[in-house]
Amino acid sequence: MFCTQCGKKISMDDRFCSGCGAPNKNFQKEINVAVKPEEPKPEKAKPEEAKPEKKIYHAEAFPKEKEEVILESEQYDYRALPGKEVKGIKSIYMIDFFSRLTGKSNIPMCIYLILNVGIIGLICSAFLALPIGWGMAAGLILYIASVTVALSPIGEFMIRYQNNCREIRDVEVVNRLEPLFREVYYKAKKQNPEISGDVRLFMNEDKSPNAFATGRKTICITRGMLEQDDDTIKATFAHEFGHLAHKDTDRLLVVYVGNLFITAIASLFQIAVMINYVIMSIVALFMDSDEGFFVAIFNAIASFISLIFVRGLMRVWGALGTALCMKTSRGNEYEADHFAFTLGYGRELTLFLTALAAYEGDKPRGLFASLASSHPDSKDRVDRLLELEAQAQ
């Protein structure tokens, strides 16, 4: 026999349930007493145990192979939000990208891309013995091919791989970041339905607090961000979703992959110089002593100067690219900050940028260092956010 109130197993001889204190109706029926028994004071009922929340692992933002689960917050189900399909000619990825380069703020970026095409064209003319016109045409075709790769999932994978952005497998970290990511993702997609419904979160082992977005489906934070509080992490996510919303991240892919293309050509040239040095050194050994000596000396000097020239040229080229892209990048940062402000994370982002300006810990490395060098000063960003807050009041 079981209690009709709480379901606890009881005996026919029990007057009351030992679990919840409810009267045993079957007991009253069985003994059929003439006098109504004195009702004892009911025992305090034990509160019902709260049902555990439904646990679901979301593969959209984190790796599929984990068996552990994390809590689902149905309040921020970004997958249920409607997306906005781009129609017309801009639905073609490449055309959409180049159409957005026509803005005034992107003029420095366009100059940089044109210079890239020019360098590749000159290299094609020199190595393939082509007229300048045909060499430039070949350079343009090769660069468009590199842009196509950059704007594909391959480009996103390349930039993640080069910067050691890995899937998050630590269960404790996943359980902390997933609700924060979902909340900001929901608000960002609600604000801008064009944001992809398949954005994923990755992590880099860099110790400095930082993050970047690339392509249209990647956000990567550093391990150093885990030292920040949850509100700061949400503000950082909001800023990066601002980049995805404005599609600034396509430009990062194009510049990064374009630089890899130029760097690859420079590396091949340096390898060719080294091979030529080895061959000429061997030839000099079989020549007359005086003539072989001068050939060896000339070969060594020529190889050294060639390598120094190419490496110096790459440094200058990198600095020029940073300078040309800096203005565009600065404008993008202000716009992403504004996006985070509209989502309700302006104050948290302001506090983070203020702390970042005084940060003296580990410095960013690799791509994070390049991005930091092209960003506007943190104090300027704080001033703009404070202006936005004053205008909203």
Q: Which residues contact 391 (CB under 8 A, 6 or more apart)?
A: none
Q: Give me the residue label for tokens 């070949």.
A: 138
Task: Please give the backbone phi and psi of residue 294, each rounded to the nearest 5 degrees, phi first.
Answer: -65, -35
What pLDDT, in 10s, does the model give residues 126-165?
A: 878 889 889 899 888 888 887 777 777 887 888 888 888 9
HEC-encoded secondary structure of 246-297: HCCHHHHHHHHHHHHHHHHHHHHHHHHHHHHHHHHHHHHHCCCHHHHHHHHH
Q: Which residues contact 107 (CB under 8 A, 6 or more apart)?
A: none
The answer to whether the beta carbons of residues 147 and 259 sit under 8 Å apart is no
- In this model, does residue 30 exceed pLDDT 50? no
| CA-to-CA dists, residue 172 to 4, 75, 187, 225, angstroms | 42, 22, 24, 14
Q: Which is nearest to 189 in space by CA: 346, 339, 389, 333?
A: 339
Please report which confidence band the pLDDT of residue 260 belongs to, taking 50, 70 and 90 as the band edges.
confident
The answer to whether the beta carbons of residues 354 and 378 sit under 8 Å apart is yes
Q: Which residues contact 279 (CB under 8 A, 6 or more apart)?
A: none
Mean pLDDT of 332-346: 93
- Quote the pLDDT of residue 59: 39
- Quote the pLDDT of residue 92: 66
Ramachandran assignment for 88, one of left (phi > 0), alpha (psi -120 to 50 degrees), beta (any other): left
- The DSSP call for residue 217 is T
Secondary structure element (H or E) that encloses residue 56, with its range: strand 55-56
| CA-to-CA dists, residue 101 to 93, 113, 194, angstroms | 13, 11, 18
The answer to whether the beta carbons of residues 192 and 133 sit under 8 Å apart is no
Kindly report which listed range (25-39, 193-207, 248-262, 330-344) carries the lowest average pLDDT score: 25-39
Cβ neighbours of 127 (radius 10 Å): 13
- In this model, does residue 201 exceed pLDDT 80? yes
Percent of the chain topping pLDDT 90: 24
| CA-to-CA dists, residue 49 to 5, 18, 20, angstroms | 14, 17, 13
| CA-to-CA dists, residue 39 to 11, 154, 327, angstroms | 19, 77, 84
Most confident of the following: 207-216, 281-290, 313-322: 207-216
- In this model, does residue 340 exceed pLDDT 60? yes
Most confident of the following: 14-18, 284-288, 385-389: 385-389
Strand, coil or helix: 28: helix
Please report which confidence band the pLDDT of residue 70 belongs to, taking 50, 70 and 90 as the band edges.
very low
Most confident of the following: 25-29, 31-35, 237-241: 237-241
Q: Which two tokens stand for residue 140?
A: 């343009």
- Quote the pLDDT of residue 56: 38
- Quote the pLDDT of residue 71: 43
- Quote the pLDDT of residue 320: 74
Q: Give me the residue label for tokens 């205008």.
A: 391
What pLDDT, in 10s, does the model give residues 223-233?
A: 999 999 999 99
Strand, coil or helix: 8: coil
Tell me the pairing of strands 218-222 and 211-214: antiparallel
Q: Which two tokens stand for residue 194?
A: 């064009």
Kindly report which listed range (303-312, 344-353, 355-364) carries the lowest average pLDDT score: 355-364
- Quote the pLDDT of residue 151: 76
- Quote the pLDDT of residue 39: 54
Rounded to the nearest integer, the mean pLDDT of the chain is 78
What pLDDT, in 10s, does the model give residues 97-128?
A: 777 777 776 777 788 888 888 888 888 888 78
Please report which confidence band the pLDDT of residue 67 belongs to, taking 50, 70 and 90 as the band edges.
very low
- Quote the pLDDT of residue 40: 56
- In this model, does residue 251 exceed pLDDT 90? no
Put simply, whether the predicted model's pTM sits higher than 0.85 gets the answer no
Amino acid identity for residue 167 in this structure: E
- Quote the pLDDT of residue 182: 93
Q: Give me the residue label for tokens 């130029």.
A: 262
Q: Which two tokens stand for residue 50?
A: 């709260």
381 HSE (CA, 13 A, CB side): 30
DSSP secondary structure of 79-145: GGSPP----GGGGSHHHHHHHHTTSGGGHHHHHHHHHHHHHHHHHHHHHHT--HHHHHHHHHHHHHH
Q: Which string of b and e fits 95-105 if b means at least 16 CB within 10 Å? A: ebbeeebeeee
Cβ neighbours of 311 (radius 10 Å): 12
CA-based end-to-end distance of the chain: 66
- In this model, does residue 252 exceed pLDDT 90? no
Q: Which residues contact 312 (CB under 8 A, 6 or more apart)?
A: none
Task: Please give the backbone phi and psi of residue 126, each rounded to the nearest 5 degrees, phi first.
Answer: -70, -45
Mean pLDDT of 299-308: 88
